């Protein structure tokens, strides 16, 4: 038996990344998300402080339930974030918020749960054919880290969202140029995960290694500064970093699509690709996405989209609460 639509409201909904904490309130099953707020994580000492700041600022009190997508693996009561110093106990958070339900899940699991509700206005297509209804769906997203999830069809016709840490798979080179690039980075970091380069900090690393390869001295830049310089073509190493980024993301996304059999399509979330804008080379991404030898035709048919909606994971968090058993 599923929970009645009016039993778990009002809801406090959160989407917590390495850099930003996004919050929303949902009054009832028929109401849209309201009072959506984006805070810098560094503005609060803890997750609870961030939630309380939001509730105080919006005047909301006594949520019945809370669901928070968080950018780390949730494997038990104790949660420690990967790219953020926050750590906490779920049971203590539940008690402090005074909620009946307190559901914590990976932020990209929450984002995956939002995908069936996205519309054409929430997406920017980047090639491929037509999505196969009822087929698996893949999700990847470079932000402060690299999120990976997907949706698998269940027997009842709905989808089951995946929860994993696919952003930490080993990144492999596909040509000699990338082999040299990864060799230079391996001297500094040892293991090179996909997240090491396919993230905001990774974009900066790609800029720095491009400078090294060309004998130029890098300057201190933030991910948004690299993105802006790539978009304006004002710095050749920033332009190069954006090209490396698109190519490497295409390779990793193609691997994910093959692994899941994602004929329902692949979605790109996170903040990095939208911020790159025209500097994100969709044709290069698509070329590398499809470059899988005998399975090129299989991948050529898979559509890909960039998610342009601002806070879709908050909707996914609400959908996760819909699946809880009745009180």
Distances (CA, A) of 175 to 244, 258, 278: 12, 20, 25
pLDDT value at residue 197 = 98
CATH number corresponding to 119-308? 3.40.367.20
pLDDT value at residue 326 = 65
Could you tell me the two tokens for 89? 């106990």
Q: What is the pLDDT along the chain (327 residues), one digit of tens a residue?
A: 344 445 689 999 999 998 999 999 999 998 999 999 999 999 999 999 999 999 999 999 999 999 999 999 899 999 999 888 999 999 999 999 999 999 999 999 999 999 999 999 999 999 999 999 999 999 999 999 999 999 999 888 889 999 889 999 999 999 999 999 999 999 999 999 999 999 999 999 999 999 999 999 999 999 999 999 999 999 999 999 999 999 999 999 999 999 999 999 999 999 999 999 999 999 999 999 999 999 999 999 999 999 999 899 999 999 999 988 766
pLDDT value at residue 324 = 80
Residue the block writes with tokens 């995946």: 162
Contact 200, 272 (CB under 8 A): yes
Three-state DSSP state, 229: helix
pLDDT value at residue 2 = 44
Please give the distance of CA 50 from its chain centroid, rounded to a whole number.
20
CATH of 11-113+311-322, picked from 3.40.190.10, 3.30.465.10, 3.30.420.40, 3.90.1010.10, is 3.30.420.40
pLDDT value at residue 6 = 53
CATH 3.30.420.40 positions along the chain are 11-113+311-322
pLDDT value at residue 158 = 86
pLDDT value at residue 3 = 41
Q: What is the DSSP string of 302-327?
A: S-EEEE--SSHHHHHHHHHHHTSBP-
What DSSP designation does 24 have? Answer: E
Q: How far apart are CA 150 and CA 173, in angstroms?
A: 24
Q: Residues 210-216: contacts with CB within 8 Å, 24+ apart?
A: 210/236, 210/237, 210/240, 210/241, 210/244, 211/237, 212/184, 213/180, 213/181, 213/184
CATH 3.40.367.20 positions along the chain are 119-308
């Amino acid at each position: 038996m599923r929970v009645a639509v009016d039993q778990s409201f009002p809801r406090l909904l959160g989407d917590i990344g390495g850099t930003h904490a996004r919050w929303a309130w949902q009054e009832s099953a028929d109401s849209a998300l309201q009072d959506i707020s984006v805070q810098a994580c560094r503005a609060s000492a803890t997750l609870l402080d961030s939630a309380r700041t939001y509730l105080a600022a919006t005047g909301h009190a006594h949520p019945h339930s809370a669901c928070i997508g968080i950018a780390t693996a949730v494997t038990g009561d104790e949660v420690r974030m990967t790219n953020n110093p926050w750590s906490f106990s779920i049971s203590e958070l539940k008690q402090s918020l005074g909620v009946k339900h307190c559901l914590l899940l990976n932020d990209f699991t929450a984002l995956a749960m939002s995908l069936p509700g996205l519309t054409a206005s929430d997406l920017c297509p980047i090639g491929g054919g037509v999505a196969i209804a009822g087929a698996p769906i893949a999700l990847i997203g470079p932000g402060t880290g690299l999120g990976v999830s997907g949706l698998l069809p269940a027997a009842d016709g709905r989808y089951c969202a995946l929860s994993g840490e696919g952003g930490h798979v080993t990144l492999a080179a596909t040509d000699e140029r990338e082999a040299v690039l990864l060799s230079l980075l391996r001297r500094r970091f040892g293991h090179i995960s996909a997240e090491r380069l396919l993230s905001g900090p990774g974009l900066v690393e790609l800029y720095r290694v491009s400078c090294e390869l060309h004998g130029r001295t890098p300057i201190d830049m933030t991910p948004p500064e690299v993105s802006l310089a790539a978009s304006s073509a004002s710095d050749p190493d920033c332009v190069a970093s954006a090209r490396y980024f698109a190519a490497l993301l295409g390779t990793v996304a193609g691997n994910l699509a093959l692994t899941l059999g994602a004929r329902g399509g692949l979605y790109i979330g996170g903040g990095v690709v939208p911020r790159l804008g025209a500097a994100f080379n969709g044709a290069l991404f698509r070329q590398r996405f499809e470059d899988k030898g005998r399975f090129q035709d299989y991948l050529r048919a898979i559509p890909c989209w960039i998610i342009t909606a601002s806070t879709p994971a908050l909707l996914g968090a609400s959908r996760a609460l819909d699946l809880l058993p009745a009180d």
